[in-house]
Every structure is written in C-alpha cells, then in structure tokens.
Amino acid sequence: MLWIFLLFLFAGIAVGLPIAFALALAALAMMVVADVSAALLVEQAIRGVNSFPLLAIPFFMLVGEVMSTGGIARRLVNFASDLVGFITGGLGQVNVAASMFFGGISGSAVADASAIGGMMIPSMKRQGYTAPHATSITVSSAVIGIIVPPSIPMILYGIVTETSISRLFVGGLIPGVLIAAALMVTTYITAKKHHAGQTQPFSLGRLWKSFRSASLALLLPVIIVGGILGGVFTATEAAVAALFYALFISIFVYREISVKDLWPMMVRTTRLTGMVLFLLAMAMAVAWLLTTSQVPQGLVTTVSGISTNPHIVLFMCSALLLLVGVVMDLTPAMVILAPMMAPVAVATGIDAVYFGVLMSFVLGIGLVTPPVGTVLYVGCGIGGVRMEQLVRSMIPFYIALLAVLALLIIFPQLILWLPYAAGAAGS
C-alpha cells in the first residue's frame, strides 16, 4: 500500500498536478486496491478538516495581513533597529530581530520574508550589503517565523497527530531564540568579513521612544503566548484574540487601515485557507488508508530493526526530512509524513511534542533550500537576485541552522522543558 501511495503521488507530481490533486489520485488508487467505498473515503476527508483547532490557521493568516498593512510590522522593525542596530552588521541584525518579533504573531515564514524583506532589503543595500547577502539574511531568519509561537506547521502537526497544539507552541520558544541567536552570530561574522552594515550608536532615549511606539504591537505575542501559558485560552482562541486586537490597534489607534481594506485581506486569506484545507482533507484520507493497512506499524518495526536509540532515530528522521524538504513544500510534507513518522518516533521513546517542534524546524529549513524552497523564491523576487547567487550566499546560514538542529537533537530538554514546566493548557 505504501508503494502504491508513493507511485501515484510522484506520478501525479511528475505530470504537473498540484500536490493536493496528486494526493487525491493516490487516495483513489489505494481505495481501489483496499476495496474501500468512496463514501467512506469522503467521510474520512471531511472528518480531517472538521476540526476546531484548524480555525487558528485562517485567523493567524489574517493577523499577518493586518500586520503588514496596518503599521504594526513597521513599528516592530523600528524597535528592533533601536534595540540591536548598534551590533556589527547593523540592519542585518535588525532584520533577524524583526523576524523574530513578526514571526511571533504571523506564524508564517512566507509572510515574514515578504513583510520584513520588503522593508529591510532596500535599506540594507544602501548600507553596503550586496543584494544576495541582504536577501540571505532575510530568507534564513524567516525560518524563525514557524518556530516561535504561533506556528501554522505546528497547528497542522497537532491536528494530524492529535498532539497538544498549545504545548507545541510553547515548545518552540527556546528553539526560536536559539535560531535567532545563531543567525545573529552568523550575520556578525559575514558582515565583518564583507564590511557590510553601518551600526548606529545605542541610545536609551531613542529605544524608549520606539518601544513606546511599538508597545501595543509588542503586546500581541504576549497575548498569544501569555494566554496559552496561563490557561486563559487555547491556541485557536488565541488566534481570534490576536486578530481582534490587531484590528483594533490598526484601525482605531494607528489608523493606517480602514474597514474597506479588510475585504481584499479576507479574500487573500480565504484563498490560502482553501488550498490548505483541501490539501489537508486529501492527506487525512490517505493517512487513514495507510493506517488501516498497518503501514505506520510496519515502519515502526523496520526502524526498530535498525536502531532503538532515540538519537540515532532522530538523526535518521531529520536526514529524511531534509531530503523531503528539498523536493516538497512544508505544508504537504507535514500533512503527509507526520501521521507516518510520529508513531515511529513515539515507539522509540521520543516525545510527540518534541518531535513536532523538531519536524517543523527541519521542514522549515526545506523552505530555504533549492529547488522547491518557497521562501527562496520570495526572497529572489524581493531582493532582485538569481537563485544561484542567493544559495551561494546562504551557505553560512545553512551551517548555522544545521548547528541549531544538532543542538536540539542532542539536548531535547531545550524543547521539552518549557511546555511541561509551564503546563500549557488544552489543544
């Protein structure tokens, strides 16, 4: 059954079908072989998207839209500039810090790269950064956006594996900070080597002024993370609260968007949500067919025959996910592979929350690796650079990301300590 699935999936992709339709083709083939009725398959697909936690995805997407046009993102960048602009690398350091703040609200690497890159890359070029260097910092730091809470990939993982989304969110806090620190060190080294980036003198007064201007925007991640940690609301409810708060300050306080601006934002969000939901429906139907055919159990037996050492299993899974990330986008990779790989991890004693955070990070690296890396193409468009130029400039940042990955595998408590110490509530 696994080989039938892979054969029809890659055949569909090879002839140019979108991955969601290739999944549907694979599901139909598996349905015929397994002698399952079409009605039962449709029931499983509908059940896959009939999930309350899924509502968090369109709400967080819409928050990202509001941030980009409502003055929130610009204020976060100004605050980041006054906070870390004095460090060697100047706006490069600001870029990384701003990505961490923005990612702590939008949950999307693509939204992060689009919003921050559009504001930062032209200014970085004026400070002596080459276009590939400036774009590589923007692209690599966008990975932070899917690790710090909220995270759309973690929502998907939580749904398809029935893992607490709140715990996944909280588990991404320390890794997100580690990734930001590693990228800032790399930016420091590369900027010093290429004599790029102008520092600005640190000014407590200027920092206080920009903090006051951005204080309402900075409350957004506090609302999301604090509400989840405090058990005030679930991840889905946090998305709704964040949206209402973002709309309120953008319309009534900053006054940079009006009610009529909401319609195009909602249209864009609806289109993206429809794509994700259809993909998830097909993936859940496939996952059900694979499960009823005992495929995950077979994979557990196969991996256990190779090694039962959790570290070796994690390195094997990470290597596989890195290869998958080269040829497949994050969302389909997550919804296809999580139902198969999570049972393998759990069977070898690996915590499901830990594996979900790690899987999100590894597939996030895939977003910035050629030839399919979605964020790479966004960066090329914004920075006006060719793919080969950007990838060459990305090499030091790839090394930094892989170093953090190795650190998280060796020291799993970097992910696990906070979710269970904080006792994040619900799903």
**pLDDT string in tens for the chain (427-residue length):** 778 888 888 888 888 888 788 888 988 898 888 888 888 888 888 887 887 878 888 888 888 788 777 778 788 888 988 998 888 888 899 999 988 888 777 777 887 888 788 888 888 888 889 999 999 999 999 999 889 888 889 999 998 898 988 899 999 999 999 999 999 999 999 998 887 777 788 889 999 999 998 898 888 888 887 887 777 888 788 888 888 998 998 888 888 888 888 899 899 888 888 888 888 888 888 878 887 887 767 777 777 778 878 888 898 889 988 888 887 778 888 888 888 889 888 988 999 999 999 999 999 998 898 877 888 888 888 888 998 899 999 999 999 999 999 999 999 999 999 888 765 544 4
Q: Is 400 a domain residue?
A: yes
Is 24 within a domain? no
Do the beta carbons of residue 214 and residue 78 sit within 8 Å? yes
Rounded-to-integer distance, Cα 82 and Cα 85, Å: 6
Look at residue 402 and tell me if it is in a domain: yes
Confirm if 88 and 191 have CB atoms less than 8 A apart.
yes
Instruction: Give the pLDDT of residue 410.
Output: 92
> For position 374, what pLDDT does the model report?
80
Q: Is the peptide bond before 343 cis (omega within 30 degrees of 0)?
A: no
Q: How far is the C-alpha of 95 from the C-alpha of 117, rounded, in Å?
A: 8
In a domain, 387, yes or no: yes
In a domain, 221, yes or no: yes
Which pLDDT score is estimated for 373?
81
Alpha-carbon torsion angle 80, 84, 89, 93, nearest 10: -50
Angle, vertex CA 130, rays to CA 129 and CA 136, nearest 5:
90
In a domain, 404, yes or no: yes
Phi-psi region of 426 (alpha: psi -120 to 50; beta: other; left: phi over 0): left
CB distance 97 to 180 below 8 Å: yes
Nearest partner of 83 among 99, 101, 73, 97, judged by Cα:
97
Residue 144 lies in a domain: yes
Contact (CB, 8 A) for 78 and 95: no
Domain containing 260 equals 52-280+293-422
Q: Which structure tokens are listed for 277?
A: 């939901």
Tally of structural domains, the chain: 1
- Predicted structure pTM score: 0.84
Residue 23, pLDDT score: 84
What confidence score (pLDDT) does residue 199 get? 79
Cα 265 from chain centre:
20
Does some domain include residue 43? no
Residue 419: the pLDDT is: 86
- Are the beta carbons of 383 and 120 closer than 8 angstroms? no
Instruction: State the SS3 of the chain.
Output: CHHHHHHHHHHHHHCCCCHHHHHHHHHHHHHHHHCCCHHHHHHHHHHHHCCHHHHHHHHHHHHHHHHHHCCHHHHHHHHHHHHHCCCCCCHHHHHHHHHHHHHHHHCCHHHHHHHHHHHHHHHHHHCCCCHHHHHHHHHHHHHHHHCCCCCHHHHHHHHHHCCCHHHHHHHCHHHHHHHHHHHHHHHHHHHHHHCCCCCCCCCHHHHHHHHHHHHHHHHHHHHHHHHHHCCCCCHHHHHHHHHHHHHHHHHHHCCCCCHHHHHHHHHHHHHHHHHHHHHHHHHHHHHHHHHHCCHHHHHHHHHHHHCCCHHHHHHHHHHHHHHHHHHCCHHHHHHHHHHHHHHHHHHCCCCHHHHHHHHHHHHHHHCCCCCCCHHHHHHHHHHCCCHHHHHHHHHHHHHHHHHHHHHHHHCCHHHHHHHHHHCCCCC
pLDDT at 422: 62
Q: What is the CA radius of gyration of the chain?
A: 21
pLDDT for 286: 83
